[in-house]
Structures are given as structure tokens and as C-alpha cells.
Amino acid sequence: MSDNHHEEAHTGPIKTPKQLLVAGFLSFVVPIFAIIGLVLYVSSSNKPAPGASNPEKALAERIQKVGMVEVRDANRPLRAGEEVYKGQCAACHATGAAGAPKLADAAAWAPRIKTGFEALVQSALKGKGAMAPQGGGDFNDTEIARAVAYMSNAAGAKFEEPAAPAAAEAK
């Protein structure tokens, strides 16, 4: 009798295969239903529809234009080379980032100056090495050329700052 008592002490609550199937079923199905119930509870709150608070704003957002056309003032005065340098070029040319020649570094600029002003301007407009193309940005091509002249002249070149296109035609 002592052996029989010893075996019963080590048995669990599941004694038959039917009890095992029921316990397995409940341990997986009940949590799934609980999760589904919680998701439905959380997502069923009364939320206003998008744009219900301001229908005019919602309508304006839905019919918003896909693209925009920006008309720039062609009659604005051209910016000087120094101003363009400070606005566009100084980020790299003031610190020498990504191998850019620093402003007024004659040794770094000398081989570039030997290629000529037009080659330097084309390199600036189309990009070269790590420098991205500068054409088509906030500054027009003449202003970029003025910045090239400013930087080159600071390193010892004697390039003339380009005039406005209309002023060049009047000469």
C-alpha cells in the first residue's frame, strides 16, 4: 500500500487522454479568443471620421494639387559671388569637406585655376567628384559663375565676375 500511495503523490491533474485534449484545446483557444476580444474592444471606440471636425480642410487636402509651378522673378538683381559662396558653397569649401579646396588655399586651387574659368564653371554646374551639381538650385548659372570667380580670385586668380546676361548683350 505504501508503493501505491507513493505513485499517486506524483501524478498531475490530467489523468486521461480526454483531459489532455481538453486542456490543450483550452490553453490555445481561450487566449486567442481573449486577444480577439481585446482588439475589438480597443478598436471599437467612437472615433470621429477623418475630416469630421473640419470638413473644408479635409476636402482641401483630398483635392490638393499633385505638383506646383514656381515662377521666379527674372528681374531680381543677381547676387554677388561672395553672397552665393556664403549661401551655397561655404558648407564644403570653408571646411574642406569631401576634398573640396578651401577658400583662399592657393596651393589647392592652382591646378583648378589652370583649367580656366569656363571649365571651373562647368564643374560647378554639372558637379565633379564629391560635389553635386549646383545648376538649377536657388541660384542661376550666372550667380554660380560669380561664386566660382569669387573663390578662384580669393586663391590668386584674376577672373572677372560675370555680368548679368542683359548687361552683357547691351555691350
88-122 burial, b for 16+ CB within 10 Å, e for fewer?
bbeebbeeeeeebbbbebeebbeebbeeebeebbb
Grouping H, G, I as helix, E, B as strand and the rest as coil, residue 141 is helix
Q: Look at 4 and 121; give whichever has higher pLDDT.
A: 121
Helices 117-126 and 106-114, packing angle to 10 deg: 100
Report residue 139 as a C-alpha cell. Answer: 541660384
List beta partners, residue 128: 131
Kindly report whether the global pTM for this prediction surpasses the value 0.95.
no
pLDDT of residue 146: 86
Measured CA to CA, the distance from residue 99 to residue 151 in angstroms comes to 15
CATH class of this structure's domain 81-170: mainly alpha
How confident is the model at residue 73, as a pLDDT?
66
Domain with CATH 1.10.760.10 in the chain: 81-170
Say if residues 115 and 66 touch (Cβ distance below 8 Å): no
What is the predicted pLDDT for the residue at 169?
A: 46
Length of the chain: 171
Confidence of residue 79 (pLDDT cuts 50, 70, 90): confident
**Alpha-carbon torsion (134, 136, 141, 147), positive or negative:** negative
